[in-house]
Structure 1
Amino acid sequence: MKASIKAALISALVFPGLGHLVLRRGARGLLFIVPTLLAGGYLLRATLTLAGTLMDEVNSGRLPPDPLLVLERVHNSGIDNPVTNGAALVCILCWIGSVADALWLGRHR
């Protein structure tokens, strides 16, 4: 298997930018790894904070354990805002970009 294909698969299936390590282009890989980690960390923190809040409300009895009511509460929580949407977009763009860049690097090597 060609190194570029292997790098693209690692970046696509494991984590964006890790395939660049196979190509010995670690600094370039960090351009994909760092933004993805920061954006993913923000999304994880926001999700866990909301989940903790919802669990507290369900456990205290303020929110019935009805899936439709919980879903409505999630929609009303404001988690769907420009910052979280931007963080998700950064993750998607880094993922796609790292695969494309790994393939490009392999062909121009």
Structure 2
Amino acid sequence: MAMKKATKAALYSALVFPGVGLLWLKQYKRAAIFIAPTLVALWYLCSTLYNSIAPVYARMLRDAEEGILIVDPSNLDALYLKLYQEIFQSIATHQDQLNIAKGILIAAWLCSIISSYFVGKKQDLLEAPDKNQS
């Protein structure tokens, strides 16, 4: 038995990217409603994390080159802890915005799955009488 459009569209939106199921159903405007905020949220998350981590990494690399930071292979836990604390402090200043971006990302993904399923279900129901007449 072939997979119904509703199930296939929901799986595309769940497993590939939000809105892909709607693209597959040829609902381009509706798909854009989910794709756009997802891309913006992903861009914000990635750029904020990069901009928070890059200076910490550059500073630690510079300190290691200048001999200020000595990497002791027998005590990598201390180096890891220091790196973790500095990155955490750097990211903490953006925590509220990161939480909003994560919320938008999750909401867009879930709503895309639900929308894909119901649009697919509607198309399945519209096509059902055609199959019975054959």
Is the Cα contact below 8 Å between 1:17 and 1:33 reproduced in 2? yes
- Runs of 4+ that moved beyond 2 A: 62-65
Residue 127 (structure 2) aligns with: none
Q: 2:87 aligns with which of 74, 97, 106?
A: 74
What is the TM-score when the length of structure 2 is the normalising length?
Answer: 0.74
Identity %: 31
* Paired residue secondary structure (1:20): helix
Q: Provide, for residues 4-43 of structure 1, a one-character-per-residue CA deviation record: whole Å limited to 9, x for no partner.
A: 2111111111110111011111100111000000111011
Q: Residue 60 in 1 paired to residue 73 in 2?
A: no
Give the structure with the higher percent helix: 2
Name which one, 1 or 2, has greater alpha-carbon Rg. Answer: 2
- Segments of structure 2 that go 5 or more residues without pairing to the other structure are 72-78, 124-134
Matches within 5 A, 1:1-109: 1-61=3-63, 66-77=79-90, 78-109=92-123
Amino acid aligned to 1:103 = Y
Q: Provide, for residues 67-91 of structure 1, a one-character-per-residue CA deviation record: whole Å limited to 9, x for no partner.
A: 1111111221125521111001100
Superposed CA RMSD in Å reads 1.7
